[in-house]
Amino acid sequence: MRQSLFTQPSSRLLPGKWDIFALLLIFTIIIALCWSGSHMGGQFNIGTTIPISLSPWMLPSYALETVLRMFIALGLSFVFSFIVGGLAAKNERAGRIIIPILDILQSLPILGYLSILIVFFIALFPGSLIGPQFAAIFAVFTSQVWNMTLSFYQSLRTVPKELREAADIYQLSGWQKFWRLDTPFAMPGLLWNAMMSMSGGWFFVVASEAISVGNHEVKLPGIGSYIQVAINHSNLHAIFYAIAAMLVVIILYDQLLFSPLITWSEKFAVTEMQEETSSSWFLTLLKRAPLIGRFGSLFGILADRFINFPLFKKRLGAPRKSHQMAETSYSILNKLVWCFSLTLVLVAFIYCGWSFIYANTGIGLKETAHVFVLGSFTALRVFTLIIICSLIWVPVGIWVGLRPKVAQKVQPIAQILAAFPANLFFPLFIISIIYFDLNVNIWCAPLMVLGTQWYILFNVIAGASAIPAELKLASENMQLKGTTKWFKYLLPAVFPYYVTGAITAAGGSWNASIVAEVMKWGDHTLIATGLGSYITENTIRGDLPKLALGVAIMGIWVTVVNRLFWRRLYRFAEGRFSMN
């Protein structure tokens, strides 16, 4: 007889020791975040100074506020990835517009628009601290969302044909396919990129919490503003305190969130064979807690009803569509209207940009050509760094990804290394460059790739983890070894994931140039020749036309490189190395 709530023994209805421990842990986290959220409001006006203390006892409070902003931004990034990435993958016409826009947006420097956005949010919430808080969350969101969206898009474009055929046989609607097929298939890669996004958020946390508005600087309570004040005062002790706080926070959310999610996502691997999997002590704890299990079952029922909502079910007997993502045919009139609309929007955008940058500003052709040349210096650094990082991290990522137990140990270490803001290394680099008389134009480059190289590693690990067990056994049966194994099996298997990581790393390096090409520590400032330093200097001066010119030319550089190189490589990977 099936047991219901009323037929179970009373001992099963009472919480056990694992329930108590799990509930205490969960409620402690919820209460801490709610307490932090209650302190994010308050009165605020331009010119109001929010005191930031360098006392280490304030770091737990600052860390909670920073983490809360980052998780709000991460939640928004998941929603954006599902909507925009899904639309780009499912609709070819939308994809042709969305993907180039994403390529540009991921490379646009945060400083290029943050000063404008904070004015907008302050005007939207006058007299309230909510305005600057929204601006900081939006800045973190823009540092997290692009690689997650591209990862989700890449996964949806490479869903095996056999799985689509199975979905058609079961007559799943588009809504059900999205939640039953597309999202589970994309989940392992998406979660690895979500971890990288959290680290990317840490990389730009200083820029998001210490924002300049005209001649005023708005500092929000958080680790980022704590680091900025420590840098301004050349306080090495405070820097070490901030590093320690970051280590503790990263380890905590890795063990309590990402490690359980990565372990859970392994059940979506496309394989019919038993493989070695990673483990998570927190996920094991939740499984041992019967009360938590009942909450999980209730959530599963609600999720099932959400996915199988009658309105979104497919009507039986309706014409069956092909499982292929076939190109939609449009009439000539439809194409003409579409092209005319796009041209109209593009012309309006160019006209507004031209008027803002060149009308009565004194900026001419000479200045524009100079900024293009500066862009070539930054482009050379980015391209060189991507090659070097690929040679290092692709073999490492494949080795780690093929060993789930190793990946579980590497995961928190990589997150910690990826999370350090470049500003923390300014003292070391400035002292070394001055002491050894090094060329700042060369040695600023490692700071550019400090946080972005991990996009390559995380995506390659995700790709190697997703290799089907059948393919691994086939390579063993064929006794593939040496270069044959690498070039015929391993590299092709992870190549689509690598391209996604390399595109994101390149865009992130362009973005990071605004931090890396201008190094400041106390009274010492070193400036490298490049587009990033041009944007940073004009941001500090408040020269908006030149700032807009720098951002626009960075967008042009990224668009040209992506269209001529990265997108062609992406199409090649999608067509040649997908599992279909």
DSSP codes, 349-398: HHHHHHHHHHTTS---HHHHHHHHHHHHHHHHHHHHHHHHHHHHHHHHHH
Q: Distance between CA atoms of 129 and 110, rounded to whole angstroms? A: 20
How far lies 284's CA from each of 30, 51, 279, 439, in Å? 20, 43, 8, 52
pLDDT of residue 299: 85
Say if residues 109 and 511 touch (Cβ distance below 8 Å): yes
Residue-by-residue pLDDT tens, the chain, 580 positions: 444 444 444 445 566 677 788 788 888 888 888 888 887 877 777 767 788 888 889 999 999 999 999 999 999 999 999 999 999 988 888 888 888 888 777 767 666 667 667 777 878 888 788 888 888 888 889 888 988 998 899 888 888 888 888 888 888 888 888 998 999 999 988 998 888 788 777 777 777 787 766 566 778 888 988 888 888 788 888 888 988 898 898 888 888 888 888 888 888 876 655 555 667 888 888 888 888 888 888 888 888 888 887 776 666 555 555 444 445 566 777 777 778 777 888 788 788 878 878 887 778 888 999 999 999 999 999 999 899 999 999 999 999 988 887 877 787 777 777 766 666 676 777 778 877 888 888 888 888 877 678 889 888 988 888 888 888 888 888 888 888 889 888 998 899 889 888 888 888 788 778 878 888 776 777 888 899 889 888 877 777 788 888 888 888 888 888 888 888 887 888 777 776 5
Q: Could you tell me the end-to-end alpha-carbon distance of the chain, in angstroms, rounded to an integer?
A: 45
Q: Distance between CA atoms of 75 and 73, rounded to whole angstroms? A: 5
Transcribe 67-98 into DSSP letters.
HHHHHHHHHHHHHHIIIIIHHHHH-HHHHHHH
Q: Distance between CA atoms of 16 and 291, rounded to whole angstroms? A: 8
Q: Distance between CA atoms of 470 and 489, rounded to whole angstroms? A: 12
Task: Give the 3-state secondary structure of residue 237.
Answer: helix
pLDDT of residue 277: 65
Cβ contacts of 38 within 8 Å, gap of 6 or more: none
**Alpha helix (H) ranges present in 402-527?**
404-419, 426-436, 440-443, 445-449, 453-465, 469-477, 482-485, 491-516
CA angle 114–248–504, rounded 5-degree value: 45
Say if residues 573 and 499 touch (Cβ distance below 8 Å): yes
461 — phi, psi (to 5°)?
-60, -45
- pTM, rounded to two decimals: 0.77
Copy the structure tokens of residue 353. 């940009």
Say if residues 223 and 59 touch (Cβ distance below 8 Å): yes
Cβ contacts of 240 within 8 Å, gap of 6 or more: none
Q: Can you give 393-432 as a three-state secondary structure string?
A: HHHHHHHHHCCHHHHHHHHHHHHHHHHCCHHHHHHHHHHH
pLDDT of residue 319: 53
Q: Report which of 134, 150, 5 is spatially closest to residue 72, judged by C-alpha positions.
A: 134
CB atoms within 10 A of CB 420: 19
Q: Distance between CA atoms of 429 and 568, rounded to whole angstroms? A: 37
Task: Give the 3-state secondary structure of residue 218.
Answer: strand
| Maximum distance among all Cα pairs of the chain, rounded to whole angstroms | 85
Crossing angle, helix 544-561 and helix 491-516, to 10 degrees? Answer: 160
Q: Distance between CA atoms of 293 and 291, rounded to whole angstroms? A: 5
pLDDT of residue 169: 87
Q: Distance between CA atoms of 486 and 402, rounded to whole angstroms? A: 13
